[in-house]
Amino acid sequence: MNLIRFNQHPVSLLSELMEDFDRNFFARTPETRGMVPAVNIRESEDNFVLDVAAPGLKKEDFKINLDNNVLTISSEQKNENEEKNEKYTRKEFFFNAFSRSFTLPKTIDLDKIRADYKDGVLSISLPKREDAKVAVNREIAIA
């Protein structure tokens, strides 16, 4: 019987197997992982802020709609390249789209919503209505 040396570390082998499983079973390839941008939601005393991580886009690429207290952020990109030569024609295209929707609380002042895009982050400010800014900390007297 001959001994054969196994040069691959078991941890890296397990990692490769898990990546193959994810890619084949869940169809989670590197191309599909980044299709929906991550969103952080921050709350302060005066407003909520949605931060959408979308590097590589321009502010013209975004569409922001408000319908019945549902805020929808979407983007659609198309890019086509065609190269012709004497012996071949090559046409490549790229299409990427996403849409995220958020149901806004009734405490948001819908007329004062603002959006800004800077350094790959779309920030949407959702100001609270004045009547929603109630002081939370108070002392309650015992009767």
The 3-class secondary structure across the chain, one letter per residue, is CCCCCCCCCHHHHHHHHHHHHHHHHCCCCHHHHCCCCCEEEEECCCEEEEEEECCCCCHHHEEEEEECCEEEEEEEEEEEEEEECCCCEEEEEEEEEEEEEEECCCCECHHHCEEEEECCEEEEEEEECHHHCCCCCCCCCCC
* pLDDT of res. 6: 52
Q: Tens digit of pLDDT for each residue in 39-60?
A: 999 998 899 999 999 888 888 9
Residue 111's pLDDT band (boundaries 50, 70, 90)?
very high
Residue 125's pLDDT band (boundaries 50, 70, 90)?
very high
Structural domains in the chain?
38-132 (2.60.40.790)
* pLDDT of res. 41: 94
Q: Is the pLDDT of residue 28 over 50?
A: no
* pLDDT of res. 16: 72
In terms of pLDDT, which residue wins out, 84 or 9?
Answer: 84
Q: Is the pLDDT of residue 70 over 90?
A: yes
* pLDDT of res. 82: 75
In terms of pLDDT, which residue wins out, 27 or 94?
Answer: 94
